[in-house]
A and B are shown apart, each in its own frame.
Chain A
Amino acid sequence: MIKNRKLLALLAIVVLLVAACAEDPTPTVEPVEEPTEEPVEEPTEEPAEEPPEEEMAGPINIGGIHPLTGGLAADGIQMDNAIQMAIDELNAAGGALGGVEFAYLGADSTGAAEVGQTEAERLIGEGAVALICCFQSAVTSNVAAIAERDGVPLVIDVAVADAILDQGHTYTFRLQPNATSMGVNGAQFLAELAENSGEEISSVVYLYEGTTGFGDSVRAAFVEEAANLGIEVLEEIGYAPFEVTDLTTEMTRINSLEPDALVVTGYYNDGLLAARNAEEVGLDVKVVYGIAQGTYDQPQFVADAGDLAECFYDSNYHWDASDPAAQEVRDSFQELYGEEMRTSAVLAYQAMYVIADAIERAGSADPAAIRDALAETNYADHILPYSGSITFDDTGETEVASPVVMQVQDGQIVQVWPTDLAESEPLFPCVSWGE
C-alpha cells in the first residue's frame, strides 16, 4: 500500500514538474524527497535567453576565454579587453563581409579546465564562429579538443605548452612561440649576446617556477639547447610562484655557485621578488636574464622596482616595439582601460585581427570556411616582432614566431636583440647593483 502510494506520488511529481518547467522556469529549491526533478527543470531555465541569430544580418560572434578571476586575472582581464578593443576598431572600420558587425562573447575560465570547457561549449552554443583563448596551457589543451570536436577554429593567443599542437588538431592555430622555441631561442640569444660583447657565458643557474608547468617546460628546452651551446647549467632551482614569500636564501645559494648569469622563468610577482632579493644579496653575476619572464619586460616592473630594474634582460614573446603601429595600439588601449597594455593583451588583439582577415578571405562566417582560410593565412600587417608574414604550418604553429630580447635601459623597456629589431645596443655585462 504505502509503497504504491510513494511510487504514485513520485510519478505524479515527475509528470507535474516536466509539465510545469516547460513554461515556468522559477528555480525553486525542492530537493526534499524527489531528486529527479531538477535536471529537467534546470536546463530549460536558460535557452529562452538565447535569441535565435538571424542568418545574414546578425553579427559575427567571436568567443574569447581567459582567466578573468583567480591568480592570473591581471593578464586575463587585459586580454579580454584587448579583443573587445580590436572588435570595436574593426566594426568602426566597417565590420566584415561588406558591413556585417563583429560581436564579442567573452568568458571567464577562472583558470580551471572544467570551467574553460563548459564556457567553450556555451560560446559555441551561442553562435561563436571562432575562439580566441586561453593564456594557460591546461585550459587551452581542453578547449582545443572542444574546438576540434565542434569544428570551430581556435586561435591561441598565449599558451606555451608544445604538446597542445602535437595532438594532430586541424582547427587550432597558435600565434605565440611555444615553450621549445622560447627556451631554445632564449639560450641562443644569450650565447649570441655574450659573444657579441666579447664576454663569456659558460655557466648559469636556472631559477624557475616549478608548479604550474610553464616554467618547467621552458626550462627543459633551455637546458637541452644550453648543452649544445656549451653553457653549463650549474643548478636548476624551482619555486612555487603563488606561495613564495622570500627568495633570499635561494639567491645566496646561487651566489655561492658563482655562475656567469642567472636565468629566470616565472610570473610577475615572483619575478619582482627575485629581482629585489637578488639586489639585496648583491648577486654577483654578469646579467640576470629572464626567459618568458612575466616581469622584466613590463613597464610596471620599472615603476615597482625603480632603479633596481635597470639592466634586467628578458627574452620573451612581445609586440614589435620598433613598429609605430604597435605603439598606437598600446596608446589607445591605455586610454581606454587606464593600464599599460601587456604583451599577452597585444597577442589577443592580434589574434582577433588574424581571424577577421581569415573571415574576409573566406567570404563567409562559416566556421569550417574560416578554418580553411586561417590555414592559408599570410598576414603581413601584424605588430609582432616576427621576421615576415604570419603563416601557419601544418600543426598550426606560426612559422615565424620567435621571441625577442628586451632590456631595461634608463627606465625604458627596449628591444636589443636580434639586431634587425633592436632599438638600442644591449648593455652586457650589466646589473643595477654592480660596483
Chain B
Amino acid sequence: MKISRNRRWILAGIAAVVLIVLIALNGDQFDQWMDQNGVVLRQAFVTGILIGGVFGLVAMGLTLIFGVLDIINFAHGALLTIGMYITFVLFDRFGIDPYLAVLITVPLLFLLGGIIQRTIIYPARNAPAHNQLLLTLGLALFIENLMLVVFTATPRSIRLSYGRGLTEIGPLAIDFPIRIAGTTITLTKLAAFIFAVFLTAVLYLLLQRTTLGKAIRATAQNKEGARLVGISTDRISLITFGLGVACVGAAAALVLPFLSVDPLVGNAFNITAFVIVVLGGMGSIPGALLGGLIIGLTQELGVVFAPSSTKLLGVFFVFILVLLLRPQGLLGKKE
C-alpha cells in the first residue's frame, strides 16, 4: 500500500516536470523552436517509429522466451547475427531477395532455436537462474566467434537493385525515398516496419486463437497448472524457444537491407530488446511492439534535444522508471 501511494506521487512529479517544460517552451519561443527544429522533430518521429517496429520484432522473440521459460537469453543478439548472415549468403550466393529470404530464415532459426533449447537450456531447467544466464552468455560468445571464423570480421552488406527512384509495388508506383515536408522514408525501413507489424499480428493471433497459443499462454501463466490440465510443458518450452528465435530470423532478414552485418552486430539490438521486454511487459506481444515504438521514439527524440553518443541514455532512463514504477510492464499483467 505504502509503495503504491509513493508511486502515485512520483508519477505526479513527472507529470509536473513535463508540464513545466511544456509551459517553458510555450508561445513565441515554442514557435521559434519549431521553426528551427520542426523538421528534425518530424524525422525523429518517423525514424523512431520505423526503427521501433524492428526493435519490437526482435524483442518479441525475447519476451516470449522470457515469459514462458523465465530466462534472460543473452544470446538473442548473436542469433540475430546468424540470421543476418544466412540472409546475406542467400542474397549473395543465390540471389534470393531478403524479403523472400524470410521464408527460409524463419524455419531455419526455428529449428536452431529448438536445437539450442534441447541441448543447452533444457538440461539446465532446474538450475538456478544465474546458471541459465551464464549458459546464454557462453552461447553468445560461441556464436559470435563462430561467425568470426566462418565469415571473418569484414563487415558485409547488401544493396537492393530496387528501392531508389520510382518503384512499383503492386498497382502503386512510389518514388523512393519518400520525402514529405523534409522528412525521409526509405523503402527498406518502411518495408521492415510493415513486415514487423504484420508478423506481430500473426504471432498475436497464433497465441490468442490457436490451441498451441493457448497452451503457451497457459504455461507462461502457471507451469504447474498447465501440467495438471495435460499440457506437455517441456514441449511448449521447446516450441516457444524456437518461435522466439524464429522472430529474430525474420527481423534479421528485414534489417540486412539497411544495416551491414559483422559478428557483433547483434549486440546493438540485444540491449534495446531487454529494455523493451521489461517496458512492454514480460510475455506480452503487443507490449513488445508498443515498447519497441517507445524506445525507438525515445532514442530518436534524444537527437532533437541533445544529439550525442548518449542516445541510449534516455532509453535506459525510461527503463529504470518503468522498472521502479510499473515493474509488470506497460501491458503486462500483475502477478
Instruction: Classify A-B as touching or not with yes or no (CB < 8 A).
Output: yes
- Show the binding face of A for B, using Cβ within 8 Å: 69-74, 76-77, 209-211, 235, 237-240, 242-246, 248-250, 252-253, 255-256, 268-269, 272-273, 276, 280-282, 300, 304-306, 339
From A71, A72, A253, A280, give the contact of B304 (CB < 8 A): A253
**Which B-chain residue is minimally distant from A239 (CB atoms)?**
B309
> What are the residues of chain B within 8 A of A74 when measuring CB–CB?
152-155, 262
From B157, B183, B189, B263, give the contact of A252 (CB < 8 A): B183
Contact between B184 and A268, CB atoms less than 8 A apart: no
> What are the residues of chain B within 8 A of A69 when measuring CB–CB?
145, 148
How far is it, in angstroms, between the C-alpha of A76 and the C-alpha of B267 when the chains are bound?
20
Q: Which candidate, B37-45, B99-107, B232-240, B273-281, is the interface stretch facing chain A?
A: B37-45
**Known contacts A238-B308, A268-B155; is A281 also within 8 Å of B184 by CB?**
yes
> What are the residues of chain A within 8 A of B303 when measuring CB–CB?
249-250, 253
Q: Tell me the smallest distance from the CB of B283 to a CB of chain A, in Å.
A: 25
Contact between B159 and A250, CB atoms less than 8 A apart: no
Q: Tell me the smallest distance from the CB of A253 to a CB of chain B, in Å.
A: 5
From A77, A210, A281, A339, give the contact of B309 (CB < 8 A): A210
Q: Tell me the smallest distance from the CB of A280 to a CB of chain B, in Å.
A: 5
**Known contacts A69-B145, A245-B51; is A304 also within 8 Å of B260 by CB?**
yes
**Known contacts A74-B152, A269-B260, A282-B184; is A240 also within 8 Å of B311 by CB?**
yes
**Which B-chain residue is minimally distant from A74 (CB atoms)?**
B153
> What are the residues of chain A within 8 A of B182 when measuring CB–CB?
252, 255
> What are the residues of chain A within 8 A of B183 when measuring CB–CB?
252
**Which B-chain residue is minimally distant from A205 (CB atoms)?**
B307
Q: Tell me the smallest distance from the CB of B208 to a CB of chain A, in Å.
A: 30
How far is it, in angstroms, between the C-alpha of A339 and the C-alpha of B153 when the chains are bound?
12
> What are the residues of chain B within 8 A of A280 when measuring CB–CB?
177, 184, 186
How far is it, in angstroms, between the C-alpha of A359 and the C-alpha of B186 when the chains are bound?
57
**B218 at interface by CB-CB < 8 Å:** no
Of A256, A272, A273, A306, which is in contact with the most chain B CB atoms at under 10 Å from its CB?
A256
Which 8 A/B pairs are nearest by Cβ-Cβ distance? A210-B309, A73-B153, A238-B309, A74-B153, A252-B43, A249-B303, A237-B307, A253-B40
How far is it, in angstroms, between the C-alpha of A305 and the C-alpha of B182 when the chains are bound?
24
Size category of the B interface is: 35 or more
Q: Tell me the smallest distance from the CB of A412 to a CB of chain B, in Å.
A: 19
Contact between A252 and B39, CB atoms less than 8 A apart: yes
How far is it, in angstroms, between the C-alpha of A391 and the C-alpha of B39 when the chains are bound?
52
Q: Tell me the smallest distance from the CB of A363 to a CB of chain B, in Å.
A: 40
- Show the binding face of B for A, using Cβ within 8 Å: 36-37, 39-40, 43-44, 47-48, 51, 145, 148, 152-155, 157, 159, 177, 179, 182-184, 186, 189, 255, 258-260, 262-265, 267-269, 271, 300, 303-304, 307-312
> What are the residues of chain A within 8 A of B255 when measuring CB–CB?
245
**Known contacts A238-B309, A240-B311, A281-B184; is A249 also within 8 Å of B36 by CB?**
no
Q: Tell me the smallest distance from the CB of B60 to a CB of chain A, in Å.
A: 17
**Known contacts A249-B304, A269-B262; is A243 also within 8 Å of B312 by CB?**
yes
Can you pick out 15 interface pairs between chain A and chain B where the beta carbons lie within 8 Å of each other?
Answer: A77-B153, A210-B309, A211-B309, A239-B308, A246-B51, A246-B189, A249-B47, A252-B40, A252-B43, A252-B182, A253-B40, A255-B39, A268-B155, A280-B184, A304-B159
**Known contacts A69-B145, A268-B155; is A273 also within 8 Å of B259 by CB?**
yes
> What are the residues of chain A within 8 A of B312 when measuring CB–CB?
240, 243
> What are the residues of chain B within 8 A of A256 when measuring CB–CB?
36-37, 39-40
Contact between B157 and A304, CB atoms less than 8 A apart: yes
Q: Tell me the smallest distance from the CB of B141 to a CB of chain A, in Å.
A: 10
How far is it, in angstroms, between the C-alpha of A128 and the C-alpha of B189 when the chains are bound?
51
From B43, B264, B269, give the contact of A248 (CB < 8 A): B43
> What are the residues of chain B within 8 A of A300 when measuring CB–CB?
154-155
- Other CB < 8 Å A-B pairs besides A243-B312, A250-B307, 11 of them? A69-B148, A71-B264, A209-B309, A240-B310, A243-B267, A246-B258, A250-B303, A272-B260, A300-B154, A305-B159, A306-B159
**Which A-chain residue is minimally distant from B270 (CB atoms)?**
A243
**Which A-chain residue is minimally distant from B155 (CB atoms)?**
A269
How far is it, in angstroms, between the C-alpha of A69 and the C-alpha of B262 when the chains are bound?
12
How far is it, in angstroms, between the C-alpha of A246 and the C-alpha of B309 when the chains are bound?
12
> What are the residues of chain A within 8 A of B262 when measuring CB–CB?
71, 74, 269
> What are the residues of chain A within 8 A of B265 when measuring CB–CB?
269
> What are the residues of chain B within 8 A of A281 when measuring CB–CB?
43, 184
